[in-house]
Amino acid sequence: MKYWYSCVIGSFAGLALLCNGCGSAPKDPNRKPVVRVAGKVLVDGKPVKDVRVEFHSADPTHIDNVESSGKTDAYGAFRMMTYATGDGAPKGDYVVTFELKAGNYEPDQLKNLYNDPKTSTFKVTVADKSLQLEPYDLKTEGVEAKESTKVLDEHDAKKLKKRQAK
């Protein structure tokens, strides 16, 4: 009985040592602190699922690999993420874009009206406190589609051409 007891205690001690630090990833010194940002997207007055929301730096000279994005749920609600789901966005000034696609190479169902950071009129400033944005009401009814200005890389262009040939 003593042997069994020692094995159980030894197993728990070994497991505790093995799991020491479980769940804690090393801190990245380049990782920017983020602030929770949430909002809602309506399309022609109705909530729409799967609208991709992206924050682009408003400073054209700012070159950074940090991207913040979110995706709407069935109620049109979204939470921005940068490093982990719903964690937020770094402090700063942003231009906001929106895109709704059935797949990667499908046309934007928002008619390319809101997916270009160069022409977007939607701006947001993320400061020190959590931010609940006013709903964005995107209009598509009765509005003519714009030509997409997004440039595909060579790999994506080949995939798209292959799909269109089918």
Q: Is residue 144 part of a domain?
A: no
Q: Decide the pairing of beta strands 77-79 and 37-43.
A: antiparallel
- String of DSSP letters for 90-121: ESEEEEEEEE--SSTTSPPTTTTSS--TTT--
In a domain, 12, yes or no: no
* Residue 41 domain boundaries: 31-134
Task: Convert the pLDDT of each residue in 8-28 to its tens digit.
Answer: 455 544 544 444 444 445 567
Residues in the chain: 166
The answer to whether the beta carbons of residues 109 and 74 sit under 8 Å apart is no
Indicate whether 16 belongs to any domain: no
The confidence band for 140, taking pLDDT boundaries of 50, 70 and 90, is: very high
**Residue 84: inside a domain:** yes
End-to-end CA distance of the chain, in Å? 71
Residue 19 lies in a domain: no
The pLDDT score that the predictor gives to residue 115 is 95
CATH of the domain at 54: 2.60.40.10
* Number of domains forming the structure of the chain: 1
pLDDT: is 105 or 4 the higher one? 105
Q: Say if residue 117's pLDDT is above 50.
A: yes
Within a domain: 163:
no
How many other β-carbons are positioned within 10 Å of the β-carbon of residue 105?
A: 15
In terms of pTM, does the model score above 0.75?
Answer: no
- What is the percent of the chain with per-residue pLDDT over 90, rounded to a whole number? 57
Q: pLDDT tens digit string along 35-89?
A: 999 999 999 999 999 999 999 999 877 766 678 999 999 999 999 999 999 999 9
Mean pLDDT to the nearest integer, 152-157: 48
Q: What is d(CA 141, CA 59) in angstroms, rounded to the nearest whole number?
A: 32
The pLDDT score that the predictor gives to residue 8 is 46
- 98 found inside a domain: yes
Q: How confident is the model at residue 99 (pLDDT cuts 50, 70, 90)?
A: very high
Is residue 150 domain-resident?
no
